[in-house]
Structure 1
Amino acid sequence: MRNQIKILSILFLLAYNAALFNMSQKSSILELNRYKILTDSTGLELEDFMRSDEIWTKSSASIRTQITLIEENDSLFARAYVDRHNSWLKKDHNIEGTLFTHELYHARLAQAIAKDLSKKIDFYGYDKKTSLSKLDLYRKKLNFLQAKYDSESNHSRNELMQAYWEYKIDSLYNLDAQKEIFDEVSAFFPNPTVTHIWEYSDDTIYGKGTFVNKLEFIILKLNPSKIDSAYLVNYFTNKFFRENSKYNLIDFNPIAPNSILFGYSKDTVSKTETHNNILIDSQSNFYLARYAFPYFEEQDSTLIKVGERFFDSIKFKSDPTSPKIP
């Protein structure tokens, strides 16, 4: 009888230890899958929201992101990561939905902050101790911006502020992604551009443009045949400024950023608000920069802020001091 009890005890202990080992292995595997490093090629996916829906909150989604330091080949890099076990998304939302997009930009904001820290470490040659000190500051900065993003966009419910933050985060994320539009001009476009061809009876104009949420951004190279003020005013006004333009400002002695004429209009028929900026480089080449968006009677300044950031991103290779026009 005693022998049977011993054998049963041994078998029980073996089974118990095997179960503990199996649980430990599973826990290790789960822990390995918990944190996902975010890169340009490994972005946020639906599978990254691994936590079950939070039954004690009204929130439909949440993502936990942070930044860390990684050492590779004796060099330090900052990288953003997502805590998948503390991120959730309601099952009725898919990758095309606004809720996923809102969470995606939380991840992209973390990546933008990590990129900025990496550039600082590389540029100033920080050692490990200094880099860890900077990491703490950048984590606090990220937490502040994540909370501000949620607050101002009301967790994506405020569509205008969501559009503003998407452009703002894209601007940070692609800070060095100035795209050359023409030989002399580059600008920041957060999305891939498409070619624009505007045809008139006496002219054909080419350029680039893109849509970001509710906004359209365009840059065209103009072809005026004369360079005198009377002709140019007529050329610009007839082609690019509508009858219901609120105001036109003309200055043929341009100051930075090379703007000589600005026009602003609200089309009450198509419900579109358009902002035009005529620019000139040092070789007397003219460009139209434009942003447009749906017009609302109670329009706030949010989309205008986004458009002005686009205008500010336009850069000229040549000396910004442009020639005077007779």
Structure 2
Amino acid sequence: MKSKIKIITAIILLIYVSILSIYKNDRKEQALYRYKIITDSTDLAPEDFLRVAEIWTKSSARIRTQITLIQENDSLVARAYIDRHNSWLKKDHNIDGALFTHELYHARLAQAIAKDLSKKIDFYGYDKKTSFSKLELYQKKLNYLQGKYDSESNHSRNKLMQAYWEYKIDSLYNLGQHYNISEEVSVFFPTPPKVQVWQFPDDTLYGKNSIVNKLEFTILKLNPIKMDSTYLINYFENIIFTENSKYNTIYLEPETSKSILFGYSKDTVNKIETHNNILVDSQLNFYLARYVFPYFEDQDSTLIKVGERFFDSIKFKSDSNPPKTP
């Protein structure tokens, strides 16, 4: 009888240990799948929204992002991650929609803040204790910015502010990255630019351009063959400022360093506003910098400020002062 009890007890213990082992392994797998580290090679996907939306909320989506420190190659680095079990997206929204894009930029904002913390840890050589102390501060900063992003963009409903925040988040992500236009000039773009070619019957202009949402930033090197002001104005008016010419305001700005001509136009049909700035470097090479954005009748100066930051970021090697930070 005692031997049977021992056998039964052993079997029960074996079953218990097996169940416990399966449970622990399942919990580990769930934990590994629950949190997704955001890197340059990963992006937001529908499977990152695993939680069922609460029935009592009016929100169609939510994404929970955090920052953590990970040991990589004997160094601590900050990484942003998504808590998939606390993120949801209602089924009537897809990856091509405005709401998904809004949530995508929540993830990119977290990654931008994490990259900034990693740079600080590396630059200042923080020890482990200091790094974790900074992590707490940066998490609070992230939470504040995520809330501000939601509030100002009204969860993507305010298209103007959504465009502004996409530019701002991309700028934070690529902060400090300037792209060379020539040996003399470099400029900050919120996203990596593409080669831009403007082809005219008797001229070809080359430069770079970047698009964020409906905001477009371009800089081109020009080829005027004469230096007198009358020729330059005619050249720029006829070649550069041809669209919607009756809306153009063009004037010389000799007092502004490097900038000699400025013009803007409003296309009230297609609702597009374009700002152009003509600059000259120390070698008397000319450049067109322009930004284009959606035009709204009740628009404030938000997107104009964005464009001015782009203009301010243009850096000449001959400058003694660094460009303004976007």
Aligned AA for 2:152?
E
Determine the structure 1 residue equivalent to 2:252.
250
Aligned AA for 1:122?
D
Partner SS state of residue 292, structure 2: strand
Question: What is the rounded CA distance, in whole Å, between the counterparts of 1:232 and 1:174 in structure 2?
Answer: 35
Determine the structure 2 residue equivalent to 1:123.
123
Report if aligned partners of 2:171, 2:191 keep a CA contact under 8 Å in 1: no
Determine the structure 1 residue equivalent to 2:271.
271
Partner SS state of residue 252, structure 1: coil
List per-residue Cα deviations over 1:103-156 (Å, max 9, x = no partner). 111111111111111111111111112212211111111111010000001111
Question: What is the rounded CA distance, in whole Å, between the counterparts of 1:124 and 1:286 in structure 2?
Answer: 40
Question: What is the rounded CA distance, in whole Å, between the counterparts of 2:226 and 2:157 in structure 1?
Answer: 50
Report if aligned partners of 1:245, 1:263 keep a CA contact under 8 Å in 2: no
Please provide the CA RMSD for this pair: 2.5
After superposing the two structures, state which structure 1 stretch, 187-196 or 282-291, moved more.
187-196
State the number of aligned residues: 319
Determine the structure 2 residue equivalent to 1:218.
218
Question: What is the rounded CA distance, in whole Å, between the counterparts of 2:255 and 2:304 in structure 1?
Answer: 25
Question: What is the rounded CA distance, in whole Å, between the counterparts of 1:126 and 1:203 in structure 2?
Answer: 54
Q: 1:201 to 1:43 in 2, by over 3 A?
A: closer
Report if aligned partners of 1:68, 1:79 keep a CA contact under 8 Å in 2: yes
Alpha-carbon offset, residue 305 of structure 1: 2.6
Determine the structure 1 residue equivalent to 2:324.
none
Question: What is the rounded CA distance, in whole Å, between the counterparts of 1:307 and 1:319 in structure 2?
Answer: 21
Report if aligned partners of 2:112, 2:173 keep a CA contact under 8 Å in 1: yes
Aligned AA for 1:279?
L
Question: What is the rounded CA distance, in whole Å, between the counterparts of 1:103 and 1:55 in structure 2?
Answer: 20
Partner SS state of residue 253, structure 2: strand
Question: What is the rounded CA distance, in whole Å, between the counterparts of 1:201 and 1:36 in structure 2?
Answer: 52
TM-score between both structures, scaled by the size of structure 1: 0.87
List per-residue Cα deviations over 1:285-309 (Å, max 9, x = no partner). 1111111223232222232232222
Q: 1:42 to 1:272 in 2, by over 3 A?
A: closer
List per-residue Cα deviations over 1:270-326 (Å, max 9, x = no partner). 4321111111111111111111223232222232232222222222233369xxxxx
Determine the structure 2 residue equivalent to 1:324.
none
List per-residue Cα deviations over 1:36-85 (Å, max 9, x = no partner). 22111123222221222222212111111111111223312111111111
Determine the structure 2 residue equivalent to 1:188.
188
Report if aligned partners of 1:282, 1:320 keep a CA contact under 8 Å in 2: no
Q: 1:300 to 1:202 in 2, by over 3 A?
A: same
Report if aligned partners of 2:191, 2:211 keep a CA contact under 8 Å in 1: yes
Report if aligned partners of 2:253, 2:262 keep a CA contact under 8 Å in 1: no
Determine the structure 2 residue equivalent to 1:73.
73
Determine the structure 2 residue equivalent to 1:149.
149
Question: What is the rounded CA distance, in whole Å, between the counterparts of 1:240 and 1:98 in structure 2?
Answer: 33
Q: Give the alignment of 1:1-326 within 5 angstroms.
A: 15=15, 17-241=17-241, 243-245=245-247, 247-255=249-257, 258-319=258-319
Where structure 1 has 5 or more consecutive residues not aligned to the other structure, the ranges are 322-326
After superposing the two structures, state which structure 1 stretch, 203-212 or 166-175, moved more.
203-212
Report if aligned partners of 2:174, 2:191 keep a CA contact under 8 Å in 1: no
List per-residue Cα deviations over 1:184-219 (Å, max 9, x = no partner). 222233345444433445433233223321222221
Question: What is the rounded CA distance, in whole Å, between the counterparts of 2:21 and 2:210 in structure 1?
Answer: 56
Q: 1:10 to 1:74 in 2, by over 3 A?
A: closer
Question: What is the rounded CA distance, in whole Å, between the counterparts of 2:132 and 2:12 in structure 1?
Answer: 48
Report runs of 4+ in structure 1 exceeding 6 Å deviation: 1-10
Where structure 2 has 5 or more consecutive residues not aligned to the other structure, the ranges are 322-326
Question: What is the rounded CA distance, in whole Å, between the counterparts of 1:91 and 1:252 in structure 2?
Answer: 57
TM-score between both structures, scaled by the size of structure 2: 0.87
Question: What is the rounded CA distance, in whole Å, between the counterparts of 1:205 and 1:230 in structure 2?
Answer: 21
Question: What is the rounded CA distance, in whole Å, between the counterparts of 2:290 and 2:54 in structure 1?
Answer: 44
